[in-house]
Structure 1
């Protein structure tokens, strides 16, 4: 009888120990390419996943030169395509850490007050830019860039010469 109780207890423990990721996310996810935006060799991808509560998580992973120092590349979600002049910032994303070239952000309200659902994001007119610095002349250096939402994110549609300078203000 004690063995049966032990096995039942173990079964309950094993069933309740499902991976946290299954409970954290829905099955909705998107992936977009981030292309090299300057002479600095950084490119990567952004994954958009829907959390169980309906929020969106944006995970950026770049490939390129890492460093052990304390440095972060500012990262923004912008309105419009990467070639839109003066594209205002829709949301300040967590910066990419130079140590592992990763960033994770749970998307909150946009600068215009909207909260995007997964369906909204699929139809969003936007792009992501990763900057070399948060101010000064290096702010204009775009390390990596890619359209998101309903904008063409293909390599065929990407032209580095068409990247516009970011508007440093939040849209409204």
Structure 2
């Protein structure tokens, strides 16, 4: 009987200790991660997503993930304006290697050196385009609006 009583006390103390408030220093995942959809362009049948993650140092990790890509290495950029209007390159991202179909870039500035934060990226008037390869930048395989342009 003492054995069951002891197990009961351990179970209750574990339950109580696990029901405490969350650590206030840990980031809120709803405000530190934002995911946007990338849609197929020109019947490429390649789609994907881009994830913006706020880092502790104030930088943003931009993770591109696509599926159904070819054997090419795909250049990727964040452009000004929405995808329909188009615009100039704002941020050059790491190209996507066909083997892993993803790339990760730490962003702290636009290509012209202007600082940009995670919060500013979430409000950015822009879009992302992923291109067929370095030799055929005119061919867009997937794209998606980000920031204020996202649906």
| TM-score computed with the length of structure 1 as normaliser | 0.66
CA deviation string 1:120-153 (max 9, x = no partner): 1111000000000223xx2211110000011034
Residue equivalent to 1:33: 37
CA gap of 1:117–1:65, structure 2 versus 1, over 3 A, is closer
Instruction: Kindly indicate whether the alpha-carbon contact (under 8 Å) linking 2:108 and 2:117 is maintained by their aligned counterparts in 1.
Output: no
Structure 1 residue 27 displacement after superposition: 5.8
| TM-score computed with the length of structure 2 as normaliser | 0.75
- Tell me the secondary structure at the aligned position of residue 137 of structure 2: helix
CA RMSD of aligned residues (A): 2.1
Instruction: Kindly indicate whether the alpha-carbon contact (under 8 Å) linking 2:36 and 2:150 is maintained by their aligned counterparts in 1.
Output: no
CA distance in 2, matches of 1:65, 1:48: 21
CA distance in 2, matches of 1:76, 1:56: 15
Q: What is the number of equivalent residue pairs in this alignment?
A: 125
Q: Which sections of structure 2, spanning at least 5 residues, go unmatched?
A: 1-25
CA distance in 1, matches of 2:51, 2:93: 13
- Tell me the secondary structure at the aligned position of residue 114 of structure 1: coil
- Tell me the secondary structure at the aligned position of residue 132 of structure 1: strand
Aligned pair 1:74/2:72, yes or no? no
Structure 1 residue 110 displacement after superposition: 0.5
Instruction: Kindly indicate whether the alpha-carbon contact (under 8 Å) linking 1:26 and 1:52 is maintained by their aligned counterparts in 2.
Output: no
User: Over alpha carbons, which structure has the higher Rg?
Assistant: 2
CA deviation string 1:80-131 (max 9, x = no partner): 101124x100011000110111010001310343221121111100000000
More strand by share: 2
CA distance in 1, matches of 2:119, 2:69: 34
Instruction: Kindly indicate whether the alpha-carbon contact (under 8 Å) linking 2:64 and 2:104 is maintained by their aligned counterparts in 1.
Output: yes
